[in-house]
């Protein structure tokens, strides 16, 4: 009898815990809860995400614009160095509205003939003022080139004041475009004295420069 009495409290407590767990009733604080069972996670069911640019190393970095300083003699030598390709040199400035209107055609020409043509922009913003050296205009020219999406062409800047440069080139005004053939020789210069048609003078990529370049590209490489 004494053993039954001593076992009865433990037996009663066990029955109470079982009852509480079965009915969803909270267990008294003195009784530790049964450990929760966590179902294993299947790797096939886990959500998958496409790799980020950082994961694949495909992060794109825009090509920075490079603006090199040259005089006209150096530009002509540069064109001769690209023997085997047609070289188009566009003389322009940020203050020349007709230049800015035609400039996108220069970029498009490079894209159209990427393997056979080298397109060059030659800026002449520098006017020779003592308090405004060549570097004074650099930021402005780079901004214009960025706006014109000129990353795919070669960009040069004149180190000679515009008035002196025009005398050297026998040029009245800009825009002007010089087209060199595959031999590195000047094929034709287009400027404000070049007839466009209908008695109008000036330059036009669509009606003048592009057709000439297309013909020069067809010529066999030296």
At residue 201, the pLDDT reads: 66
Instruction: Work out the pLDDT band at 2, boundaries 50, 70, 90.
Output: very low
Instruction: Answer yes or no: is 90 within a domain.
Output: yes
Task: Check if the beta carbon of residue 127 is closer than 8 Å to that of residue 157.
Answer: no
For 114, the domain range is 67-217
Region 129-137 average pLDDT: 96
- Domain membership flag for residue 55: no
Residue 125 is assigned to a structural domain of this protein: yes
User: Do β-strands 117-123 and 154-158 pair in parallel, antiparallel, or remain unpaired?
Assistant: parallel
178-190 pLDDT per residue, tens = 999 999 999 999 9
Cβ-contact 70, 156 below 8 angstroms: yes
Better-scored residue on pLDDT, 175 or 45: 175
Structure tokens at 218: 């067809």
Residue 198 lies in a domain: yes
Query: Per-residue pLDDT for 129 more than 50?
Result: yes
Count up the domains in the chain and report the number: 1
- Global pTM reads 0.70
Decide: 168 and 63 in contact? Cβ < 8 Å: no
Dump pLDDT digits (tens) for 139-154. 999 999 999 999 999 9
Query: What CATH number is attached to the domain comprising 149?
Result: 3.40.30.10
Name 158's bridge partners. Answer: 70
What are the CA-CA distances from residue 34 to residues 14, 18, 43 (Å)?
A: 13, 11, 28
Q: Is residue 169 part of a domain?
A: yes
């Amino acid at each position: 009898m004494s053993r039954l009495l001593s076992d009865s409290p433990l037996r009663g407590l066990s029955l109470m815990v079982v009852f509480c767990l079965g009915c969803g009733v909270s267990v008294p604080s003195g009784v530790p809860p049964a450990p929760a069972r966590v179902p294993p996670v299947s790797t096939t069911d886990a959500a998958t995400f496409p790799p980020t640019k950082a994961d694949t190393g495909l992060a794109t970095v825009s090509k920075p614009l490079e603006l090199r300083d040259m005089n006209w003699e150096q530009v002509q030598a540069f064109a001769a160095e690209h023997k085997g390709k047609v070289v188009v040199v566009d003389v322009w400035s940020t203050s020349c509205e007709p230049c800015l209107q035609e400039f996108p055609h220069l970029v498009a020409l490079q894209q159209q003939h990427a393997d056979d043509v080298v397109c060059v922009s030659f800026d002449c913003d520098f006017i020779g003022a003592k308090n405004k050296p060549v570097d004074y205009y650099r930021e402005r020219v780079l901004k214009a080139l960025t706006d014109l999406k000129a990353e795919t062409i070669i960009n040069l800047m004149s180190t000679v004041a515009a008035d002196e440069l025009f005398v050297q080139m026998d040029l009245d005004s800009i825009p002007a475009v010089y087209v060199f053939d595959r031999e590195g020789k000047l094929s034709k210069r287009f400027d404000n004295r070049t007839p466009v048609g209908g008695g109008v003078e000036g330059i036009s990529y669509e009606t003048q420069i592009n057709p000439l370049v297309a013909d020069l590209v067809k010529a066999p490489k030296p």
